[in-house]
Amino acid sequence: MPTAPQSTAPIGVFDSGVGGLTVLHELLVALPQEDFLYVGDSARFPYGDRTPAQLRAFSRQIADVLLERGAKLIVVACNSATSSALQDLTAHVAHSGCGVDVIGVVGPESNLAVAQTRSGRIGVLATPATVASGAYERAVLAADPLVKLTSVACPQLARISQDGAPITEADVDLARMYCAPLREAHVDTAILGCTHYPFVGALLQRLLGPQVALITSGTAIARRVQHALSTRELITPRTGEGSYSFLCTGDADAFAEVGSRFLQLPMGAVDHVELADASTSEVPA
């Protein structure tokens, strides 16, 4: 029988690349005593172009890696994976009998956006997979059915962030095109529905205008994680600083170089983890 999670065990976090480090940054600030283990699936980036069946297969695979390393909680720091795979992944982890909770980014972000808006007009910038899933529509309208939601698929925006290259005028024009429907809808709140997007947050804020509040995953998910740990009595008894470590499926040196800008803290060593090819895997809905 699997053992129950221990309070001294690490919190597992995963994303398709370095974008989820923006979420990890907020977790490290909000929960400095906790240990964290982050998996970046950079070899299969971007998730936003994957099918729901592939995202379910990838998410199961990475969750198993985290569980093997004793994670006491799993945070899906990827909006595409959360949108397409969270329900399946939660059932998969529950079936293992380990008693580990799974938390995704869409619900906390949506609730925060509904609480923030004054006009009831909310925009979402997200990957094609996330927009196609309808996850934000369901989450936002569940929180407030009167909200008017405008969703825009941004197929190239995550790549700008992941590459870590200087932003070009072509990138600005691309972002301007993505932001145009939100400006036309007069939104006062915009959800950055991909954990890579905070890297270009200043650009998006300029294009949308200072009156538009940008909602990111980090702050919202940190609150949810704190609540989950407290409810499960899994808050670490440690009083000093915890540790954090990294695994990635692609080039470890490249991951560390770009990731340090997202994390805004020293990265240290990044270890490579080899996962079986699941690019053609089909996990039924």
Angle at 258 between CA 75 and CA 194, to 5 degrees: 40
21/19 Cα distance (integer angstroms) = 5
* Sequence-separated (6 or more) residues with CB below 8 Å from residue 165: none
Which one is catalytic: 154, 179, 194, 248? 194
Angle at 4 between CA 268 and CA 97, to 5 degrees: 105
Active site residue 179: no
Closest listed residue to residue 147, CA positions, set 122, 183, 181: 122
164/257 Cα distance (integer angstroms) = 9
* Sequence-separated (6 or more) residues with CB below 8 Å from residue 211: 188
Angle at 81 between CA 77 and CA 83, to 5 degrees: 105
- Residue 181 tokens, joined: 């429907």
Closest listed residue to residue 258, CA positions, set 121, 160, 141, 116: 160
18 neighbors 42 (Cβ within 8 angstroms)? yes
Which one is catalytic: 78, 154, 179, 248? 78
| Cα radius of gyration rounded to whole Å, the chain | 18
Helix-helix angle 217-231:21-30, to 10 degrees: 50
Active site residue 154: no
- Catalytic residue numbers, as ranges: 78, 194
